[in-house]
Structure 1
Amino acid sequence: MSALTTPERPNETAMTAGDMDIEKESSSSASEKQEPSQTDFVVSFTGDDDPRNPKSMSTVRKWLIVIIVSATSLCVACTSSLYVGAYGQLEKEFDSSEVVVTLGLSLFVVGLGLSPMLLAPLSEFYGRKPVYVVSLFFFVVWIIPCAVARNMATMIVSRFIDGFAGAAFLSVAGGTVGDLFPKHKLAAPMMLYTLSPFLGPQLGPLIGDFINYYTHWRWTFYVLLIWAAAQWAAIFFLVPETYNPVLLRREAERKRKETGDDRWYAPIEKMDRSIAETLLRSCYRPFMLLTLEPMCLALCIYCSVLLGVLYLFFGAFGLVFRINHGFKLWQVGLTFLGITIGMICGTLTTPWFNKNYRRLLKKHEDDGNLKGSSEPEFRLPPAIAGSPLAVIGLLWFGWTTYSSVHWIVPIVGSAFFGMGVIMIFSGVFTFLVDAYPLYAASALAANSFARSMFAAAFPLFGNTMYRKLGFQWASFLLAMITLALAPFPYIFYRWGKELRKRSRYAGAR
């Protein structure tokens, strides 16, 4: 854009000096008014209907992307536990102890917990798709050493790197779902994505035990290699970039090239923080939240124990159902259907709790609070309802693990545990996001790190504990630990606002 000039006037020489001064001032003023400001060159979307905005995609295409991303998350999560079915063959072939073989599971989960602190910030600079493509490529590549391993050292190291590479879909992919749908349509696609990382570990033993019962353990990884490669191809060819700041940067680059005007820019290009600074903050802030925020620490420990128990069951179920009921390896895998069905049922309660949230919100407004305002504690009812279900499920499972009791009974108990777990996670995750709005990513990263460390540790002692204490008392011990932590969601629902007033990272609204 150029400034407007004053047209020539035929009688301009007859103007007085004063008239000329007035004319110059008027021209200068008009020029200043027409001179574009820097904000006139900011590239932005005109709304959700803007063709450049991912939210304007067709419903079919958006759901296709959600399904691909969710299936990839399912693949990564399933890889963690599908390995469990190979324990028996690996112990014999490599002459390794049960604990050493279990390290292949534990270190994979450690990689899952560490990676989001690095991959999630990188997506803020480069976009979601580059992170997906590169990380999933290395995920596929590092399955190969697992498939051809000649010793346990190769297996353990490869599994750790594989978990580290695959974690992008457990930390970044939720953002893709949010990029595609407006808030009022987000519940259903987010429900599908949220369920996939939790169903994956339960489906792993079901698939892996079938493979390892009928063929060699290496086919465990050949199947994973085929599945993961197919997911990589789907991501590469069918999933576009959806991160708005990166899309706007591309649009600004296009405008600068087409117009030759370097004043066009996207907001992301004006960021005053570097990649190194962002990575550093992403690495230390989750630990500050765990150290300085009692609410965050308590809820993270609660979630961590629950996930630890889930991973402990990968070994414990094999002991219980083989010894008590004479199950074969492929039958042991089927026993995880109880937890799987329980998690699906727990997820289906989401619409009811969403209605409950809206009722709490309306009551909050009726009490004289600002319309549209909310309290993070309104997000906790699913966790409050799920807590007793998790305890009941563990007690049910534990005290029915006798050979004289039909095998379906403890499996039904495990379904209640699975239902409670998914409800607790749902409530805690949304609470952390609302309670720490400026540090939501760090709060979730803290939760992910803590959960992964517990999930890595519990399988290392789980089988020994079940053998030493007995199936009933070992399950009872886990139930009592869960019972001790169960009141936390209610405590924070009742007194969370007062606690947030004294927080340096959260605050009462």
Structure 2
Amino acid sequence: MSALMPPSDRDLESKSKESTQIVSFKEEQSKDGYEVDLELLEHPQAKKLFIKWVIVAIIGACALNVTFASSAASFTETGVGNDFHVTKEITILSITLYVAGLGIGPLLTGPLSEVYGRNIIYRVSFILITAFTFGVAFAPDIAVHLVFRFLSGLSGSSFLSVAGGTVSDLFENRQVGTPMALYVLFPFVGSVIAPIYAGFVNQNTNWRWTYYVLIILSFVQTIALFLIPETYVPVLRKWKAARLRKSTGDANYWAPLDRRQQSMTEAIIISCYRPFQLIFYERMALLLNTWTAMMFGILYLTFQAFPVIFGKNHHFNVQEVGLSFTGISLGMLASGFTQPYFNRFLLKEAEKAGGKAPPESRLYAAEIGSICIPVSLYWLAFTTYPHVHWIVPMIASVLFGFGDFLLFNSVLTYLVVAYRPIAASAMASNSAMRYSFAAVFPLFAGQMFDRLGTVGATALLAGLMTLAAPLPFIFRRIGERVRAKSRFAHHE
């Protein structure tokens, strides 16, 4: 009988003394039953540190696989064109449609994950990715190949949107910086190490082997996803309420998700239009999103540009062109090691601000990145001549990768913190713009480099990034005033 009764005030007081900021303890009686919360040991943040990092590693590896599959396709274009008798412009759609799927998917998986939890979305996503990659690898014609590429991107998109929430589920705010930076690093590194792998495969065997290996990798990761626990607290509370109803026979136990008023259709509609509201009404979000979208487009443009710079100018073969992406990946990895420095910087900013660092302090890393990127692009532009040793533009690409990751990690974190009440929509607005640019840029890369040459085309991109470079410096100084007037931003 005591299991049916809500805890006494003394019990609640005793529990609260043992509690931390991780979770509140309440099984409070109201007119419609007992609202159930998690005990301390049930909360995801109470898991052992090793288990947390294993979970981050698994979802990070899955995110790497998703972006790995996007850029690996750039080295299959010649084989696909020869087998299906289509032009290069058609084969580039293999990247464009996949990336379009990555951009659209979060609008659907975001609302679904908030009702059914993160794990079911992950598992279904990778089961579908494995199945659709079969369709890509064994496609009898170009139409089937492209349709399954789009569906593969659509399925994999959850790891570029929902997965970030898993990291925040597992770590407190003061601890989340390093694991979040590691998670963000995985998909970016995946997109630039894929050409290294794809170059060797397509140099030595049939293009379809690019996808055969991805099928095996996706299958292994699908199994790994069944080993990690659910971390989304509202769903865990819902499951606990269901267990209590079953074990006690009392139907009055409930969790907030049990009383959810919003239908799934309404949630998806809001998920679709709110990110665009943010873009249209928030100039700060619009400018930062456009800046990162341009940068992301340039990153995907390199998958068409490097074969020209290193293949035509320096006479690299296919696998050597793939290895030319080593510079970008090394730069990204190097930038990941700077995270402890920025963590200490944020602690100092928090001390100055009375305990909580302002969102604008997150843009400090973007300031460094905004300088590195145009410098690296100018360096790359004027060293692409055939008579300049190939190691010189390769070193420039290291600086490009370094600045690239600093920029993205800084701006994405800033958007989440500055627009905390609608953080999911802020991320979705950024993703929609980034993947739109990433889908389109490769389509005109060939023509641009043919008409302007490697120097002119790369210098043009450097000029655009130079114009955008002042943005983090400006917003770090005026961001607080802009947020104070915002209808969406978080106000302290």
Task: Pick the TM interval, shorter chain.
Answer: over 0.9
Q: What's the secondary structure of 1:167's corresponding residue?
A: helix
**1:242 pairs with 2:231:** yes
Identity %: 42
Deviations 1:410-437 (A, max 9, x none): 0110111111111111111121112212
Structure 1: how far apart are the matches of 2:264 and 2:32?
25
| Aligned partner (choices 280, 286, 290) of residue 279 of structure 2 | 290
Match of 2:85 among 82, 86, 95: 95
CA contact (8 A) 2:449 2:457 kept: yes
Instruction: Give the residue type in structure 2 aligned to 1:46.
Output: E
Q: Tell me if the contact between 1:255 and 1:264 (Cα under 8 Å) persists in the aligned partners.
A: yes
Q: 1:440 to 1:128 in 2, by over 3 A?
A: same
Q: Distance in 2 between matches of 1:465 and 1:505?
A: 39
TM-fit CA distance, 1:36: 5.2
Alignment correspondent of 1:208: 198
* Secondary structure of the corresponding residue to residue 174 of structure 2: helix
Contact residue 394 and residue 478 of structure 1 kept, 8 A = yes
Are 2:443 and 1:460 equivalent residues in the alignment? yes
2:368 corresponding residue in structure 1: 385
Structure 1 position 301, deviation (Å): 0.5
- 3-state SS of the aligned residue for 2:211? helix
In structure 2, what residue type is equivalent to 1:88? T
What is the distance in 2 between the residues matched to 1:300 and 1:214? Answer: 40
Partner of 2:18: none
* Paired letter, 2:86: S
Shift of 1:394: 0.5
For residues 441-452 of structure 1, the aligned pairs below 5 Å read: 441-452=424-435
Q: Residue 489 of structure 1 corresponds to which residue in structure 2?
A: 472
2:155 maps to 1:165:
yes
Paired residue for 1:76? Answer: 66
- Structure 1 counterpart of 2:332, from 337, 343, 360: 343
Q: Following TM superposition, by how much is the alpha carbon of 1:144 offset from its aligned partner in structure 2, in angstroms? A: 1.0
Q: Which runs of 5+ in 2 are unaligned?
A: 6-27
- Work out which of the residue numbers 21, 42, 51 in structure 1 matches 2:35: 42
Give the structure 1 partner of residue 76 of structure 2. 86
Q: Which residue of 1 aligns with 2:46?
A: 56
Mean Cα deviation higher: 178-187 or 283-292: 178-187
1:29: which partner in 2? none
User: Structure 1 residues 403, 294: closer, same or farther in 2, change over 3 A?
Assistant: same
Q: Secondary structure at the residue paired with 2:76?
A: helix
2:344 to 355, 359, 362: 355
Q: Which has the larger radius of gyration?
A: 1
- Counterpart of 1:452 in structure 2: which amino acid? Y
Contact in 1 for aligned 2:64/2:186 (Cα 8 Å):
yes
Whether 1:402 aligns to 2:395 is no
TM-superposed CA distance for 1:341, in Å, is 0.7
Once residues 119 and 93 of structure 1 are traced to their aligned partners in structure 2, the CA distance between those partners, rounded to angstroms, is 35
1:354-373 map, 5 Å: 354-365=343-354, 372-373=355-356
Contact 1:111/1:163 (<8 A) preserved:
yes
Q: 2:297 aligns with which of 297, 303, 308?
A: 308
Q: Which moved more, 1:58-67 or 1:451-460?
A: 58-67
Distance 1:457 1:325 in 2: 27
Which ranges of structure 1 fall in alignment gaps of 5 or more residues?
A: 5-34, 366-371
Paired with 1:274 and 1:114, the residues of 2 have a C-alpha distance of 20
Q: Distance in 1 between matches of 2:384 and 2:359?
A: 40
Alpha-carbon distance, 1:439 to partner:
1.1
Contact 1:126/1:246, CA 8 A, preserved across alignment: yes
Distance 1:44 1:135, change over 3 A: same
> Is 1:330 matched with 2:319?
yes
**Is 1:257 aligned to 2:211, yes or no?**
no
Matches within 5 A, 1:178-217: 178-217=168-207
CA–CA separation in structure 1 for the residues paired with 2:360 and 2:170: 27
Mapped contact 1:38–1:263 kept (Cα < 8 A): no
Q: Which residue of 1 aligns with 2:358?
A: 375
Partner letter of residue 35 of structure 2? V
Q: Write the deviation string for residues 40-78 of structure 1: whole angstroms up to 9, x where unpaired.
A: 72221232xx1x222232332222221111111100110
Contact 1:498 1:508 in 2 (8 A): no
Normalising by structure 2, what TM-score? 0.92
Deviation at 1:333, TM superposition (A): 0.6
- Which stretch shifts more, 54-63 or 80-89? 54-63
Structure 1 residue 331, shift from structure 2 partner: 0.5
CA distance in 1 between partners of 2:377 and 2:407 (Å): 15
- Per the alignment, residue 233 of structure 1 pairs with 223
The one-letter code matched in structure 2 to 1:133 is R
Q: 1:316 is aligned with what amino acid?
A: A
| Higher mean displacement: 496-505 or 485-494 | 496-505
Q: 1:486 to 1:102 in 2, by over 3 A?
A: same
- One-letter code aligned to 1:312: L
Letter in 2 for 1:479: A
Of stretches 71-80 and 241-250 in structure 1, the one that deviates more from structure 2 is 241-250
Q: With structure 1 as the length reference, what TM-score do the two structures score? A: 0.89
CA contact (8 A) 1:346 1:423 kept: yes
Q: Distance in 1 between matches of 2:151 and 2:276?
A: 23
Residue by residue over 1:428-449, the C-alpha shift from the partner in whole angstroms, topping out at 9 and shown as x without a partner, is 1121112212111101100001
Greater Cα offset, 282-291 or 52-61: 52-61
Offset of 1:489 from its aligned partner?
1.0
Question: One-letter code of the match for 2:141?
Answer: N
- 1:362 alignment partner AA: E
Q: Write the letter of the residue equivalent to 1:80.
A: S
Contact 2:29 2:35 in 1 (8 A): no
DSSP-derived class of the 1:183 partner: coil
- 1:482 maps to a residue whose letter is M
Does 2:318 align with 1:318? no
What do residues 469-501 of structure 1 show as CA deviations (whole Å, max 9, x unaligned)?
011111000000111111111111111122223
- Is the 8 Å Cα contact of residues 390 and 416 (structure 1) preserved in structure 2? yes
Instruction: Answer yes or no: is the 8 Å Cα contact 2:102–2:435 preserved in 1.
Output: yes
